[in-house]
Amino acid sequence: MSQKLLSRLRFNFGFLLEANFGESRVIELDYPSIRVADDLDLAPLRGSIKASRTSEGIYVEGSLQTAIDAQCVRCLTTFSLPITLQIDDLFYYPPVTAPKGEFVVGENGFIDLAPLVRELSLLEIPMQPICKPDCQGLCQECGANLNEGDCGCEDDDIDPRFSILGELLDQ
């Protein structure tokens, strides 16, 4: 029988459920690397979060800095993309019926931030990630990575229909 590993982003906030409204706790995070989900590793994950007791649940806010592996759309190399995650969410607890799709506090007072961190991390990846602003991309002829040097292909991108204009330039 296999056991599912518990998330390292799972925190016990049960004490806040019994506290007065407005009571809060700050948690500092500093992980050199962390597996957030089966399909996502972050390295490093640093920052702080503040959990506050509200009438409906526990409000979690904070800022985390991390990096995620992304693939450059120009040269197709994998690179580490630095991102900042802004956490700003309410975790509802059992006496209040949570709206569909919202996060909830477990009956034992635990909150797992891993699904939220995964969601925010994936949303921070740009539509077209580029490894560096001056990325040269791949050669259209041979497919060589032009960031590593010239591939030696001739740069003959003149449309044959305009070849007569090229002859005028030679004169």
* C-alpha distance from residue 108 to each of 1, 14, 15, 94, 130 (Å): 24, 7, 10, 10, 43
- Residue 106 has phi, psi (to 5 degrees) of -65, 160
Please, what is the Cα angle at 117 between 112 and 122, to 5 degrees?
145
* Domain boundaries along the sequence of the chain: 10-135, 136-171
What's the token pair of residue 103? Answer: 């996060």
Residue 161 DSSP class: G
Cβ contact 11:113 at 8 Å: yes
pLDDT on residue 81: 95
Q: Model pTM? A: 0.80
Strand partners, 70: 79
Series of mean pLDDT values for 10-residue runs along the chain (171 residues): 68 87 92 91 94 91 95 95 95 78 84 93 95 92 89 74 76 71
Q: By percentage, how much of the chain surpasses pLDDT 90? A: 56
Are residues 12 and 109 in contact, defined by beta-carbon separation less than 8 angstroms? yes
